[in-house]
Amino acid sequence: DQQVKQNSPSLSVQEGRISILNCDYTNSMFDYFLWYKKYPAEGPTFLISISSIKDKNEDGRFTVFLNKSAKHLSLHIVPSQPGDSAVYFCAAMEYGNKLVFGAGTILRVKS
Amino acid sequence: DTGVSQDPRHKITKRGQNVTFRCDPISEHNRLYWYRQTLGQGPEFLTYFQNEAQLEKSRLLSDRFSAERPKGSFSTLEIQRTEQGDSAMYLCASSLSSGSYGANVLTFGAGSRLTVL
């Protein structure tokens, strides 16, 4: 039972353009959402988060959008840089407990 | 503070052997989590502690797996009678549980990769 789904296994974007990574969830009790980035041979690194009372959160080049009615969130990276190439995981939390992760999307930013 | 430390980084063992992984969390964090990640998948929750109390265990955690956090600081994850299906990356994370969501962001270690031959 996958409660958090990232349906695009990979995404390729040209340097300087926008990267949009998508995530869907099924559990309406999730109230906090996070994006993590992972490089090979390293653990996931926290990138940005959003609580369910907001619909947008921005941090520099990274913006996360939340559509609660559609149970959908997205991560926008503008402009994309080659160093952004990594695996991006969407994660959701219920009542401040454990995180439930999606399967990840591999982002490749071409220079 | 150097973040979350995990040891060993890589363990190769034969089927049927026991293995133990250690995690040292960020010192002021009261919560400690164990996750498992296999190729092409996201991290899967195994168990977590608040201080020394184990608050939740996933049904993924068979009775061959045991985790401890004896003094509310470091934690160990032991796998007995390893099977080839146990081959995975075992990730540890820690957080500071409070009323603020921002403080409950999990910080992950680099992981311990297990290969069962």
Please write the tens of the pLDDT for every residue from A48-75: 999 999 999 999 999 999 999 999 999 9
Q: B68 pLDDT exceeds 70? A: yes
What residues in chain A have per-residue pLDDT under 70?
A: 96
Chain A residue at shortest CA distance from B38:
A103
Place of tokens 């080659």: A82
* Beta-carbon separation of A41 and B110 below 8 A: yes
**Averaged pLDDT score across all residues of chain A:** 95
pLDDT at B93 over 80: yes
CB atoms within 10 A of CB A12: 11
Residues A19-46: b if buried by 16+ CB within 10 A, e if exposed: bbbbbbbeeeebbbbbbbbbeeeebbee
Read off the pLDDT band of B96 (50, 70, 90): confident
CA distance B1 to chain A (A): 16
Put simply, the answer to whether A89 touches B106 (Cβ < 8 Å) is: no
What's the pLDDT score for residue B99?
A: 60
- CA-nearest of B106, B103, B111, B43 to B77 is B111
Cβ atoms of A21 and A5 closer than 8 Å? no
Mean local confidence (pLDDT), B44-70: 92
B83 to chain A, closest Cα gap in Å: 23
The interface residues of chain A toward chain B in range 28-87, judged by CB-CB distance below 8 A, are 32, 34, 36, 41-46, 49, 51
Q: What is the pLDDT of residue B104?
A: 73
Strand, coil or helix: what is B85? Answer: helix
Q: Average pLDDT, stretch B52-74?
A: 91
CB contact under 8 A, A102 and B106: no
pLDDT at A107: 98
Distance from CA of A3 to the nearest CA of B (A): 12
pLDDT at B53 over 90: yes
Q: Is the preceding omega at residue A9 within 30 degrees of 0, hence cis?
A: no
